Amino acid sequence: MDAINLSSPELYINRELSLLEFNRRVLEQARDESVPLLERVKFLCISAANLDEFFEIRVSGLKQQLTYGSTQRGPDNLSPFEQLKRISEAVHGIMAEQYQLLNGELIPRLAKEDIRFLKRTEWNRRQAGWVKRYFSRELAPILSPMALDPAHPFPRVLNKSLTFIVTLEGKDAFGRNSGMAIVGAPRSLPRLVQLPESSTSGPFDFVFLSSIIHAHVSDLFPGMTATGCYQFRVTRNSDLFVDEEEVDDLKLALEGELSSRRFGDEVRLEVADDCPEDVERFLVRQFELEDEDVYRCSGPVNLTRLMTIAELVDRPDLKYAGFKPRIPARIRRNEDMFDVIRRGDLILHHPFESFAPVVEFVRQAAKDPGVLAIRQCLYRTGPDSAVVKALVEAARSGKEVTVVVELRARFDEEANIELANTLQEAGAHVVYGVVGHKTHAKTVLVVRREGRQLRRYVHMGTGNYHARTARLYTDYGLFTCDAAMGEDVQKVFQQLTAMGRVVRLKKLVQSPFTLHKHMLDLIAREAENARAGKPARIMAKMNSLVEPQIIQALYAASQAGVRIDLIVRGVCSLRPGVKGISETITVRSIIGRFLEHTRVFYFENGEEEEQLFLSSADWMERNFFRRVEICFPIEDRRIRQRLIEESLLNYLADNSQAWMLQSDGSYKRVSHGNARRRSAQEHLLAELAET
């Protein structure tokens, strides 16, 4: 019998199409009647924001490949042209579903709850008068209409900005009649405007900014008449390019490149569905796009800005129930974080357990006279970060503070440049990682003098040091003062801040050096155990799975009889359930209240002690080969068993928010049928959080 070719394109799902399938699952949350109404609106907005980033990064990359004549193909063997064609078809369908859901279901449901979006045709005299005064007072002084004629060429439209193209009749003060003008809505303007109680009968009546501008756009052109006013929005390439081999200062180079993000190459045009064909053709020519790049919108062209409705409407009954993240009893009983960690490893599961102990750990290190040095990797931190404030305090008090700031954290570049400047001004040593590799590891190292010895305290996590996302993302953080772990983390920092050859680590596994091979070896060992009749099982939870060699290794392990259960939130290029290839592999995706972000890897290890790893890395090429990542073992048996139960078995038992990947690349939602309903996230809220 001929050997099966595990690299055959038929065995791989296209990464971009898989990402769009993930966005469909997010959109389904907006359709799910068991989700609170205002949260459904938020899921709709998230699906729109995901599409924005998809075009800004993924589609723009494919278009660049097409422009430069690239023939590069992925494991699925689809060319850039074929991918763009399929993407256009899929996204047109997704966007049609978004607006159908908004107009046909969400807006009527909101109206039943006295949350109304009033159209121009629905304004009564009092409301119309208020809107006119609002336009004159708040909008007219800010809006800058631009006529289109030889002296006024088509303006450079900002990325994702709400813009209007206006058709005109009549002549202006100079006798000109260009027939067309552009009006841009500054980002500072709210896209939803709440009507005051004095002019409305409902508690939450809103009008769209676009409706106000439509109603009074003629006022911007005295003596002329606006015969049409149509929203549009252009999405641009937002992937920054910096040739790291040719720059002397990465920070300065990125600062110079950031402004170009607002004016990158056009990749998508969204227009109002009532826009005349000739006006649409005019815009298509201006942006040098193709027909398949145009998306008609039967509603606001930027659904993302509807996210503010949840903040503007005080209706707790239409939102998820609040909860208070729990602080573990060990920390509640003992405020000294160093003493707590010395007594044994400690794991935190966010957002069910509080992020506050992580902040407190850095704060205590900043103030403790015994602490000599603090080293930390920062990828994303958020504004007004308490962790950064503690690092600044430590540096100002004379401690040795070294911070690796990843300037190229996508869409956080500007914030991270400001962060780096703040830390440097306080006296901290700031480095930007390694040329050619993003520093994606999440860790803090504190060196403390205790009597005659120096002890290393470490925090390592699967997520960022970002207080806000710690309330929205599921992540793990491990505190330990294990000597070997601390020594390994110190060596990682030495690699990042100094120069030298690859050093051998005792317990940690690191990208770009050993993580990929280590995972391949562990998968292969499970296959050997299965062939030898020993217990063999792999369970892994991650955000994305696309790396071809890992997928091939999983296929080979499945053929050997290894039971493989994968929990992959987003992109998955592996095809499960293919006869003779992946019959023992299941892939499920959990989409719920919190964004699943933990990376947990379990290997049964035959008759030996089972092994479990946490990591900052997904199973993607970039994480294995182009990023600095860490993967660390969980050696405490009690903690290991807890993580197996919480992050693996618990999610494999989910029959409420789980989607199963089919071999054709589609996903099917799991139904609990007559069985008891179980949601992994709700179970963790009940078990860990203080509801």
The pLDDT tens digits of the residues spanning 52-103 come to 999 998 999 999 888 888 777 889 999 999 999 999 999 999 999 999 999 9
Distance CA 374, CA 117 (A): 52
Two tokens, residue 463:
């997520």
Structure tokens at 253: 């180079």
So what's the pLDDT on residue 173?
57
Which residue, 479, 504, 529, sits at the end of a domain? 504
* Tens digits of residue pLDDT in 201-254: 788 999 999 999 999 999 999 888 899 999 999 999 987 443 443 434 444 444
Q: Are residues 558 and 484 in the same domain?
A: no
Kindly state whether residues 372 and 496 are assigned to the same domain. Answer: yes
Is residue 121 assigned to a domain?
Answer: no
Please state which of the ranges 115-124, 168-177, 584-593 shows the lowest mean pLDDT. Answer: 168-177
Q: What percent of the chain has pLDDT over 90?
A: 78
| pLDDT single digits (tens) 103-143 | 999 999 999 999 999 999 999 999 999 999 999 999 999 99
**DSSP secondary structure letters along 445-482:** EEEEEETTEEEEEEEEESS-S-TTGGGTEEEEEEEE--
Looking at the structure, do residues 594 and 518 belong to the same domain, yes or no? yes
The CATH number of residue 33's host domain is: 1.20.58.310
What's the average model confidence in pLDDT over 636-660? 97
Q: Is 407 in the same domain as 496?
A: yes
Give every CB contact of residue 494 below 8 A, 6+ residues apart in sequence.
500, 503
- The mean pLDDT of 548-569, rounded to a whole number, is 98
Residue 181: which CATH number?
3.30.1840.10
Q: Is residue 324 part of a domain?
A: no
Strand partners, 565: 539, 586
- Contacts of residue 280, Cβ cutoff 8 Å, sequence gap at least 6: 271, 294
Pair 51, 174 in one domain: no
Do 46 and 81 fall into the same domain? yes
Q: Is residue 129 part of a domain?
A: no
pLDDT of residue 449: 97
2: in domain: no
274 touches 230 (CB < 8 A): yes
Residue 256 lies in a domain: yes
- Tell me the C-alpha distance between 636 and 645, whole Å: 14
Whether omega before 512 lies within 30 degrees of 0, making that bond cis, reads yes
Kindly state the helix (H) or strand (E) to which residue 340 belongs, with its residue range: helix 337-342
440 is catalytic: yes
Q: How far apart are CA 311 and CA 313, in angstroms?
A: 6
Choosing from 480, 504, 528, the residue where a domain stops is: 504
Provide CB contacts within 8 A for 464, sequence distance 6+.
378, 379, 380, 381, 442
pLDDT of the residue at 121: 92
Q: What is the pLDDT of residue 150?
A: 58
CATH code, domain carrying 641: 3.30.870.10
Question: For residue 32, which of 656, 655, 568 has the smallest C-alpha distance?
Answer: 656
Same domain? For 481 and 401 the reply is: yes
Q: Are residues 49 and 145 in the same domain?
A: no
Same domain, 177 and 266: yes
Q: What is the pTM of this model?
A: 0.92
Q: Collect all residues with Cβ–Cβ distance below 8 Å to 460 and sequence separation of at least 6.
A: 442, 443, 477, 478, 480, 485, 489, 614, 630, 632
DSSP reduced 3-state for 338: helix
User: Do 492 and 362 fall into the same domain?
Assistant: yes
Mean pLDDT, rounded, of the chain: 91
Q: Where does a domain end: 484, 504, 524?
A: 504
Does 122 reside within a domain?
A: no
Q: What angle do CA 652, 654, 657 make, to 5 degrees?
A: 125
Q: How many domains does the chain have?
A: 4
What residues make up the domain containing 527? 510-688
**Residue scoring higher pLDDT (607 or 2):** 607
623 domain residue, yes or no: yes
Choose, from 216, 437, 440, 459, the residue flagged as catalytic. 440
The distance from CA 545 to its chain's CA centroid, rounded to whole angstroms, is 16
314 found inside a domain: no
Distance CA 269, CA 291 (A): 10
- Of 94-103, 256-265, 369-378, 497-506, the poorest mean pLDDT is in 256-265
Q: How far apart are CA 109 and CA 103, in angstroms?
A: 10
Q: Are both 489 and 550 inside the same structural domain? A: no
Q: Three-state SS across 161-220?
A: CCEEEEEEECCCCCCCCCCEEEEECCCCCCCEEECCHHHCCCCEEEEEHHHHHHHHHHHH
Task: Identify whether residues 517 and 484 lie together within a single domain.
Answer: no
Locus of tokens 């809505």: 185
